[in-house]
Structures are given as C-alpha cells and as structure tokens.
Amino acid sequence: MRKVVLESYIRKRLEENDILLMTHIVLGYPSFDDNMRVIETMVEAGVELMELQIPVSRPIADGPVISRANLQALKGGATVEGCLNLAVSAARSFDIPFLLMSYYSIPFGYGVDRFVKTMSHGGLQGAIIPDLPSQEGRVYLDAMHAYNLAPILIFLPTTPVDRMRTIAASGSGFIYCVARKGVTGEATNFSEELAAYLLVCRQSTSRPLSLGFGIKRKSDIDFLKGKADIAVVGTQTIRVMEQKGIAAVGDYIRRLR
C-alpha cells in the first residue's frame, strides 16, 4: 500500500462501510510477540486502520490503562528502535494502513528526519503526535510531507473554527477529533453536544474525521455513523486483552460492527 493514498484508501473503504474502525495498541505491551498476535487478530476481525504507540514514561493524553501499558512496556525493555522494527514488520505483513502514535520527545530524541525516513522506508502511513509543539512542529510537518507521510493533526472541543481550518491545512490523511476534555479511557457522553461539535469539525475541513476517547460499545459507534468517518477504539481493547486474552479481542471488535 503506497503512503500517498491514505485519504483515498479511507474514502474507498467508506464506500463499503458507513464508518471505519481504527484500533490502538502500545508497542511492547505485553511483549512484541503479543503485539503481532494482537495485530493479526484485529486485522482478521476487520479493523481498517491501526495506530501503534511508542511508549513514553509520561503519556500525558492517556488515562490509567494506556499509561500503565506504556510503563510496563518500558520496564519490559521496549526501545524506540525495537518499536520501529515491530511497526515496520506489521506494515509489511498486513494490508491495512499503520500509523505511529507517540509524543514529540520520541521523534525529537531519535532525530526527526531519521524518524520520518524510517517510517517512510518501512511502509508506515503517518503518525499522530498529540503534543506537537507549534514552532518545532514545523520541522516535523515539513519532513512528513517531504516523505509523503500523513501527519494526523488534532481537533479539540475547545479549538476555535479558524484554528481548525489552519490545522487541517497543515495535516493530511484525516483529522483526529478528541471527543472531550481529559484523557483516554474515561466515559464519553454521546450526546447532542458531541454531535454539534462534530458538525463544526465537518464544516471546518474536507478531510475525513476520526473520533477517539471513550468509545467502548457498538451503540457508541452507531451514534457516530454519519457524524464521523473513523471510530477509534483503544483503551477498551487493552482491557479485553488483559481480562480475557488476545483471542477475545477479535470477538470484541466483531461485535462492534
């Protein structure tokens, strides 16, 4: 799958499904071998995209479940190099787009151009960096565009409309809409207020919209149909894996459909 067609891939898949699923795993948790088993299970269950998180010691946007997974991965010896190798292996093994997710300390410490070049040569499609700094971030954005990768940028419920338009112009692929204030894994109110926010997001960009933070049930995804293009499920899949094992993750994802 070529990197330059991420948005086209999304739109093509939306001709077949009224909403797509993107899942999230933490690389190195519980182990790299387990990561590959989970990825295979998710792909077989019909996930259309996947974000692979490179762990950090202070994942500021993440709630207790994903934060704990980050720390356990680091304690288990997960390194940036090891995570990149696993991500490249996944991208070469499965025919869906894979995105990296982490915090800016990772590409900054690794070297932005080296980080982006590794992604490009490894077949990854883009990255989500939730704490991308406004000034230093220009270096990252320029590198991503130079290598035909998608920098997935973020809308918040507090983002003004004019700022949304500026953000959308700098990114590509799709926009990640955060459902609410707070961190991942907490309850989200699937309400008219959320629907109104997504309408503002839709009016601010022509790019596909994903929504993340707090999606757990089929009813949540049903609510999003017609309002967003991609539902992001992260914390709940980790909970299912921890409580019931890797095989149960596939069953859980199929039930979301």
Among candidate residues 48, 51, 220, 229, the one labeled active-site is 51
Among candidate residues 48, 62, 220, 229, the one labeled active-site is 62
Q: Please indicate whether residue 62 is annotated as part of the active site.
A: yes
The one-letter amino acid at 62: D
Active site residues: 51, 62
